[in-house]
Chain A
Amino acid sequence: MTSVRINGRPHRLPDGATVAQAVRESGVEPGGRGVAVALDGEVVPRGEWDRTQVAEGQELEVLHAVQGGDGSAFTIAGRELRSRLVLGTGGFRNLEVMTAAARASGAEIATVAMRRVDPSAPGSILDALAAAGCEVLPNTAGCFTAREAVTTARLAREALGTDWVKLEVIGDDRTLLPDPAELLEAAETLVGEGFTVLPYTNDDPILARRLEDAGCAAVMPLGSPIGSGMGINNPYNLRLIVEQARVPVILDAGVGTASDAALAMEAGCDAVLLASAISRAADPVAMASAMRKAVEAGFEARAAGRIPRRHYARPSSPEEGVAELTQ
């Protein structure tokens, strides 16, 4: 065995262990984003982790970038966000409930369908969101072609004075699944026009990569169809998307209850967007509070490093040489 120190604590690694193994030993998934390693003060590039061996007595610093600074903030297009819950505003029974739920959720950003509201209308949803301290992220819900979505995004920029847009291009009325070809085309066009584009996408790792390559500021894969409350139907795909992404990943659509949101965060999503799960709950304000906690819990659990799954039990207290007190 080789004795090393990881983040100041002694660890024993098998002889010939690599940096990648040491990172895993520290409780961080080496495939995850935002991880940096220094060996005796020298940064080891990610590509070298599997080749670089750790020698007896060396000091490793494993830094998890998302844990830095505030401890929970993350960044989209240079903008730091403290809340990892983004609120959708559809389905609330009244504006008062929406305002109270927005407050309870802790969301900093709420998304609004630009085809469904007139931003200049008095006492509208936008005023209510302002009262709740939420910034408005316009979305293109209700658009079925790239052309419609691009036009809607331009109108939103004009009306709200923001370059940010949550891009939705729906391919089918019944499932409300995104239309991949139209979505990509709209994303390319809008990025070209200087928009910060956050696309609602299928849970397809290849499409997510294409959107990222097109210059999108984040990718927002669905867990399951909008409003279905079915949770995360393909956790494997979601993990692939998270693993490869160099931009934030926000789970969008499908969350039914708090555990779904926690699962998304445990899978490595940077944030969760949800609307119906809160707005159509019997008590939306209480559900907003539950979702806030679930998102935080999932995020912290991910960072804390879960134990491996095993086939058989392993006693939580040692079986040999234990003091009687702990028996």
Chain B
Amino acid sequence: MRVPRNTRYDAVVIGAGLIGLATAWSAERRGLSVLVVERADGPGAGASGVAAGMLAPVTEADFGEEAGVALGLAGRERWPAFAARLEELTGRPTGFRESGALVVAADRDDVEELRRLHELQVSLGLDSEWLTPSACRRLEPWLSPRIAGGMLAAGEAQADPRATTFALAEAVGEVSYGFDVETIENDGRRVTGVRGPAGAIECERVVVAAGAWSGTLGKVPVRPVKGQILELHGRGGEPLDRIVRSPRCYLVGRGDGRVVLGGTMEERGYDTTVTAGGVHRLLEHAWEVMPETDELELRRAVAGLRPGTPDNRPIVGAGDLAGLFWATGHWRNGVLLAPLTGDAVADLLVDGRLPAELAGLGADRFDRAGVGA
């Protein structure tokens, strides 16, 4: 464990994933002294280290989740400046690339399903274009000849979450690894600090950005949702330029031969076992739309835990103690929303207000609805 330099900070951020680090980076730029505490011995130990890094608010859009789409678009808008600034400051890559995404149908049933989503996207004013099978294959020649159509969301982008996490960890002032917060200390009204086995830190503000583990630190309905993901590698490069998705999987090329194939969605508590069935199905689903995946090297199979909430939207806002703030529950969109959430929570720490895009995302919305924790 790296012992913190001081015993007192303006703010402590719990969790050195993308959300926590982006928040700390932004808060420091607003003049606060910040300590990030992280249970693991390095950054991005949770979902951030496993995520594929799709910045895909259009192809993630689904019925009944229109509010999430607006939020995702706002997040997408922040990325170019965020990536440029971070890369310039640290000299490290973020993998940000405006690649676009192509969602393909493996058969007629998929066409029906994707058509319905495409119409929803168009009705929401999103940039989505329906393509014939041959038009899809002109864009991505490695696609299976059997695909039955697809839709192109040209505005989607991608980033490398691990690389971005490392860049952020370098950009922020201080991260204390191996610091496992046991309690958020308070005087009954206000936050006074955090305590772990290694000691206590005094502070007036605490941001919980502990991803799937946030629910262990307070009363928020965040649950772990397991995702298995494979890292493949093509010696001669990647058989795709864009993000390629089907209703059952997604493939993201990193630009250096690596291809990330994901992802399962499993309600399994904190289990992160990689299963034969999970790997089998991912490979089968990828092969179905891109047979060339058979020829790639299988380098890594991992499982991570997404922080899920009852309505799939993040929890960003003040907690029930003065000085306690939540920045968690980003579900499948933590990479997409990290720059937006980071800036917003920094605003909240300094000015006490959230920007309009993140209004109404407090934990109190679940108490009203009577669901959740």
Q: Given that A95-B371, A96-B369, A123-B215 are known contacts, is A283 also in contact with B63, CB under 8 Å in the complex?
A: yes
Question: Which residues of A100-135 have CB atoms within 8 Å of chain B's CB atoms?
Answer: 116-118, 120-125, 128, 131
Name B371's contact: one of A99, A122, A124, A281 (CB within 8 Å). A99
CB distance A121 to B310 under 8 Å? no
Name A123's contact: one of B62, B63, B373 (CB within 8 Å). B373
The distance from the CB of B315 to the nearest CB of chain A, in whole angstroms, is: 12
Question: For the complex, what is the distance from the CA of A199 to the CA of B243, rounded to whole Å?
Answer: 42
Report the nearest A residue to B312, measured CB to CB: A94
Number of B interface residues in the complex (CB < 8 A): 26
The distance from the CB of A156 to the nearest CB of chain B, in whole angstroms, is: 15
CB distance A283 to B64 under 8 Å? yes
Q: Which residues of A contact B369 (CB under 8 A)?
A: 96
Q: Given that A120-B269, A121-B268, A122-B223 are known contacts, is A128 also in contact with B371, CB under 8 Å in the complex?
A: yes
CB distance B310 to A128 under 8 Å? yes
Q: Given that A116-B266, A118-B271 are known contacts, is A96 also in contact with B223, CB under 8 Å in the complex?
A: no
Question: Which residues of A155-204 have CB atoms within 8 Å of chain B's CB atoms?
Answer: none
Q: Which residues of B contact A96 (CB under 8 A)?
A: 310-311, 369, 371
The distance from the CB of A279 to the nearest CB of chain B, in whole angstroms, is: 11
Question: For the complex, what is the distance from the CA of A121 to the CA of B222, rounded to whole Å?
Answer: 11
Which has the most chain A C-beta neighbours within 10 Å: B63, B64, B271? B64
Name A131's contact: one of B62, B269, B370 (CB within 8 Å). B370
CB distance B371 to A131 under 8 Å? yes
Which has the most chain B C-beta neighbours within 10 Å: A97, A120, A281? A97
The yes or no answer to B221 lying at the interface (CB within 8 A) is yes
The distance from the CB of B291 to the nearest CB of chain A, in whole angstroms, is: 19
Q: Given that A95-B310, A131-B370, A283-B63 are known contacts, is A121 also in contact with B266, CB under 8 Å in the complex?
A: no
The distance from the CB of B61 to the nearest CB of chain A, in whole angstroms, is: 11
CB distance A121 to B267 under 8 Å? yes
CB distance A118 to B64 under 8 Å? no
The distance from the CB of A123 to the nearest CB of chain B, in whole angstroms, is: 4
Number of A interface residues in the complex (CB < 8 A): 21
Question: Which residues of B93-113 have CB atoms within 8 Å of chain A's CB atoms?
Answer: none
Q: Which residues of B contact A284 (CB under 8 A)?
A: 64
> Which residues of A does B touch, CB under 8 Å?
93-97, 99, 116-118, 120-125, 128, 131, 281-284
CB distance A282 to B63 under 8 Å? yes
Question: For the complex, what is the distance from the CA of A317 to the CA of B62, rounded to whole Å?
Answer: 51
A-B contact count (CB 8 A): 65
The distance from the CB of A92 to the nearest CB of chain B, in whole angstroms, is: 10
Question: For the complex, what is the distance from the CA of A222 to the CA of B224, rounded to whole Å?
Answer: 33
> Which residues of B does A touch, CB under 8 Å?
62-65, 120, 215, 221-224, 266-271, 308-312, 369-373
CB distance A93 to B269 under 8 Å? no
Q: Which residues of A contact B223 (CB under 8 A)?
A: 121-124
Q: Which residues of B contact A123 (CB under 8 A)?
A: 215, 221-223, 308, 310, 372-373
The distance from the CB of B171 to the nearest CB of chain A, in whole angstroms, is: 33
Which has the most chain B C-beta neighbours within 10 Å: A93, A95, A123, A131? A123
Question: For the complex, what is the distance from the CA of A124 to the CA of B271, rounded to whole Å?
Answer: 13
The distance from the CB of B243 to the nearest CB of chain A, in whole angstroms, is: 21
Question: For the complex, what is the distance from the CA of A125 to the CA of B372, rounded to whole Å?
Answer: 10
Q: Given that A94-B310, A124-B223, A131-B370 are known contacts, is A118 also in contact with B267, CB under 8 Å in the complex?
A: yes
CB distance A124 to B312 under 8 Å? no
The distance from the CB of A253 to the nearest CB of chain B, in whole angstroms, is: 16
Q: Which residues of A contact B270 (CB under 8 A)?
A: 121
The distance from the CB of A87 to the nearest CB of chain B, in whole angstroms, is: 16
CB distance B267 to A124 under 8 Å? yes
The distance from the CB of B210 to the nearest CB of chain A, in whole angstroms, is: 14
The distance from the CB of B280 to the nearest CB of chain A, in whole angstroms, is: 11
| Complex A-B: 18 CB contacts under 8 Å | A93-B63, A94-B311, A95-B310, A95-B311, A95-B371, A96-B369, A117-B267, A118-B268, A121-B224, A121-B268, A122-B223, A122-B269, A123-B221, A123-B222, A123-B308, A124-B223, A124-B267, A284-B64
Question: For the complex, what is the distance from the CA of A282 to the CA of B370, rounded to whole Å?
Answer: 23
Q: Given that A117-B267, A125-B267, A282-B63 are known contacts, is A99 also in contact with B310, CB under 8 Å in the complex?
A: yes
Question: For the complex, what is the distance from the CA of A282 to the CA of B66, rounded to whole Å?
Answer: 12
The distance from the CB of B167 to the nearest CB of chain A, in whole angstroms, is: 32
Q: Which residues of A contact B215 (CB under 8 A)?
A: 122-123
Question: For the complex, what is the distance from the CA of A124 to the CA of B222, rounded to whole Å?
Answer: 9
Q: Which residues of B contact A122 (CB under 8 A)?
A: 215, 223, 269, 373
